[in-house]
């Protein structure tokens, strides 16, 4: 078994292919509109009538303003809302649950601006004097900017959206997926880094992992696994979780996977076994007991008696038999873990991967 890179094109879902937008704000738009309006206009030489030439100048200015706003805001209005639920949830997390509001408000700007432009184009064209054409075109720009101002409060999330898009891995939909979950500091990233192509940051501080990280493992020619590193989850109700924990919950809830629930049985673990068992219960309430495999990590620093004692606790308090004890740090039993996880996956999804490796 080896960590290996594979072709990203292979039946993969990539957020950056679907969500393409660049951050902008009302102020950016306002400045650009004023700049466009002030630009010199060059009239087509075939318009000879002096009055028409003066009027046309304003039509062209406003047409440019309209074209700019339509293009700028349409890229937001066209953001997809029928995404894979995992991706949709990540975007909701990035926008404090305002992703759909953002798209709706951009659609509103485009629709109202288009309507205004239809009206004002006629008005400006029919202006009897240059002064009136000037007044009408300024009125158009003023009204358009006011529409943008009133409907752009969610644009402030665009920055966070682009960050999320950049940080979100592609999902290969046809591969078995194994999520590694647990409290902060149990060694999730160390494990994922050891077995897969992903190289997540490891450190002795909680919430080192701030987003979902995905790695690939080649089990044999043509058989690959996806391994998902998740941020740590604390012992508290799902509704009270912070945005980092919510990303772990999004992976658990929306990816078709099995979950390795990693525990640190050390007596001086960052979080004690009671909290770790409470979080196991939370994870169970999201994915269901049948999709969970409980694994002890850091076995290199825990004596046998302690392991046995903790196994009993897990059995008696949470009702799970601990499947394996590993050391993500030195690699002890990690290959076994992959095989066991795959067996669980096959049992849940009716596949036969573990027989083919």
Ligand X SMILES: Nc1nc2c(ncn2[C@@H]2O[C@H](COP(=O)(O)OP(=O)(O)OP(=O)(O)O)[C@@H](O)[C@H]2O)c(=O)[nH]1
Residues that bind ligand X (CB under 6 A): 184-190, 202-204, 206-209, 231-232, 297-298, 300-301, 327-329
Show the tokens assigned to 281: 């219960």
State the Cα–Cα distance between residues 37 and 33, nearest whole angstrom.
Answer: 6
Is the Cβ of residue 59 or residue 227 nearer to ligand X in the bound state?
227
Q: Which does 184 bind (CB under 5 to 8 A by kind): Mg ion, ligand X, none?
A: ligand X
298 binds, among ligand X, Mg ion, none (CB under 5 to 8 A by kind): ligand X
Nearer to ligand X, 127 or 209 (CB): 209
Residue among 29 and 192 whose Cβ is closer to ligand X: 192
Beta partners for residue 296, in sequence order: 263, 325
- Per rule CB under 5 A, is residue 196 in the interface with Mg ion? no
* Residue placing its CB nearer to ligand X in the complex, 59 or 280: 280
CB nearer Mg ion, residue 176 or residue 232: 232
Convert 252-263 to b/e letters by CB count within 10 Å (16 or more is b).
Answer: bebbebbbbbbb
**In angstroms, what is the minimal distance from the CB of 272 to ligand X?**
15
Min separation Cβ 241 and ligand X, Å:
13
The interface region with Mg ion, picked from 127-135, 206-214, 249-257, 338-346 by CB under 5 A, is: 206-214
For every residue of the chain, which 3-state class applies, written as one string? CEECCCCCCCCEECHHHHCCCCCCCHHHHHHHHHHHHHCCCCCCCCCCCHHHHHHHHHHHHHHHHHHHHHHHHHHHHCCCCCCCHHHHHHHHHHCCCCHHHHHHHHHHHHHHHHHHHHHHHHHHHCCCCHHHHHHHHHHHHHHHHHHHHHHCHHHHHHHHHHHHHHHCCCEECCCCEEEEECCCCCCHHHHHHHHCCCCCCCCCCCCCCCCCEEEEEEEECCEEEEEEECCCCCCCCHHHCCHHHHHHHHHHHHCCCEEEEEECCCCCCCCCHHHHHHHHHHHHHHHCHHHEEEEECCHHHCCHHHHHHHHHHHHHHHCCCCCEECECCCCECHHHHHHHHHHHHHHHHCCCHHHHC
Residue 41 beta carbon to ligand X: minimum distance, rounded to whole angstroms: 57
Minimum CB separation of residue 316 from ligand X in Å reads 25
Task: Closer to ligand X by CB, 212 or 328: give it.
Answer: 328
Per CB under 5 A, does 209 bind Mg ion?
A: yes
Determine the interface stretch with Mg ion among 72-80, 124-132, 202-210, 329-337 (rule: CB under 5 A). Answer: 202-210
Residue 79 or residue 93: which is nearer to ligand X going by CB? Answer: 93
- Closest CB 348 distance from ligand X, rounded Å: 24
Residue 329, contacted partner among Mg ion, ligand X, none, CB below 5-8 A by kind: ligand X
Q: What is the smallest separation between the CB atom of 199 and ligand X, expressed in angstroms?
A: 11
Contact string 12-51 vs Mg ion (x = CB under 5 A) = ----------------------------------------
One residue of 164, 168, 185, 189 binding Mg ion per CB under 5 A: 189
Angle, CA of 113, 116 and 117, to the nearest 5°: 85
Closer CB to ligand X, 59 or 255, in the complex: 255
In the bound complex, what is the minimum distance in angstroms from residue 187's beta carbon to ligand X? Answer: 3
Query: Which residues lie near Mg ion (CB under 5 A)?
Result: 188-189, 208-209
């Amino acid at each position: 078994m080896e960590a290996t890179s594979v072709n990203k094109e292979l039946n993969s879902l990539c957020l950056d292919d679907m969500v393409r937008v660049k951050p902008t704000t009302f102020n950016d738009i306002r400045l650009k509109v004023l700049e466009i309006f002030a630009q010199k206009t060059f009239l087509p030489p075939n318009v000879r009538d002096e009055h028409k030439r003066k009027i046309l100048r304003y039509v062209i200015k406003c047409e440019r303003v309209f074209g700019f706003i339509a293009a700028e805001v349409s890229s937001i209005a066209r953001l997809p809302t029928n995404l894979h639920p995992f991706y949709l949830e990540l975007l909701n997390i990035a926008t404090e649950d305002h992703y759909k509001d953002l798209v709706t408000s951009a659609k509103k700007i485009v629709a109202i601006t288009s309507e205004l432009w239809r009206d004002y184009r006629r008005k400006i064209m029919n202006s009897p004097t240059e002064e009136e054409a000037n007044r009408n075109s300024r009125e158009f720009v003023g009204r358009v900017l006011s529409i943008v101002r009133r409907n752009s409060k969610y644009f402030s999330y665009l920055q966070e959206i682009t960050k999320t898009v950049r940080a979100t891995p592609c999902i290969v939909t046809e591969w078995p997926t194994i999520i590694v979950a647990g409290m902060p500091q149990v060694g999730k990233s160390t494990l994922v880094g050891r077995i897969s192509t992903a190289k997540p940051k490891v450190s002795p501080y909680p919430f080192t992992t701030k987003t979902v990280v995905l790695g690939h493992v080649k089990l044999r020619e043509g058989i690959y696994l996806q391994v998902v590193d998740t941020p740590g989850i604390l012992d508290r109700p799902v509704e009270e979780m912070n945005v980092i924990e919510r990303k772990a919950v999004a992976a658990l809830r929306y990816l078709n996977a099995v979950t390795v629930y990693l525990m640190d049985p050390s007596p001086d673990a960052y979080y004690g076994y009671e909290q770790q068992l409470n979080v196991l219960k939370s994870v169970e309430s999201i994915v269901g007991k049948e999709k969970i495999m409980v694994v002890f990590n850091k076995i290199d620093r825990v004596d046998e008696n302690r392991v046995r004692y903790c196994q009993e606790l897990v059995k008696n308090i949470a009702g799970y038999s601990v499947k394996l004890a590993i050391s993500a740090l030195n690699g002890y039993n990690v290959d076994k873990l992959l095989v066991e996880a795959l067996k669980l996956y096959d049992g849940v999804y009716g596949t036969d991967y573990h027989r083919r490796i």
